[in-house]
Amino acid sequence: MSNDELVAAIRELSNEVRLLRNKIADTGGQSVPTVGMELNSSAIGKSDELASDSHDVLIIEEIKGLLCQIFAAALDEDEELAFERFIDCMHTDRVDAPRSIPSLREFNWKTLRKNVRRYLASADDPSSFTIEKVQPPTSGPHAVPIKAFLSCSGRSPVPVTFKRDSAHNEAWRVTDSSL
């Protein structure tokens, strides 16, 4: 599967997760359907233990999808297209300032491209990252922000902060990152 196909599949799944999250919010979380599925990502191991209820699981899955998009972009050889995909994962507050895009390109993007494989268990699999912990461990429907700590070879877990973005249908987006 190519990176573009993977990103398209992730976006489709993220939209499905968002719809499910909205259904749960509409029902007050009272009648959550049970869905059995097996996912093949090492990121699932620790982060699933962190999610205490179905709402938390949906949030964690959406955040994992966003991180997978970021890592897929960082692995992409087409630098310009990849950077655009990276920017799509950033919160509107982060990209709207006058010098924000050049700053993100020069610092965050450059560092991520250089170090992306340090976060991945399998060098070319953007879903092979591991979330060590999430703060807050449980969150209400409107809790912001959420901070995930990712495993990174050669250093302590790296924080990535997420917040819902009204400009993207309340989807989670990255507001700050040390990747």
More confident residue, 170 or 45: 170
Amino acid at position 36, single letter: G
Q: Output the 3-class SS for 73-108.
A: HHHCCCHHHHHHHHHHCECHHHHCCCCHHHHHHHHH
Largest CA distance in the chain: 47
Q: Provide the whole-model pTM.
A: 0.69
Query: Can you tell me the distance from the alpha carbon of 43 to that of 63, in angstroms, rounded to the nearest whole number?
Result: 11
- The closest of 129, 168, 169, 170 to 148, measured between CA atoms, is 129
pLDDT of 8: 63
pLDDT at 38: 33
* Dist CA 178 CA 79 (whole Å): 20
Mean pLDDT to the nearest integer, 104-127: 95
Please report, for the chain, the start and end positions of each structural domain, with discontinuous segments joined by +.
Answer: 3-28+40-177
Whether pLDDT at 25 is above 70: no
For 53, the 3-state DSSP assignment is coil
In this structure, what are the phi and psi dihedrals at residue 150, rounded to the nearest 5 degrees?
A: -100, 140
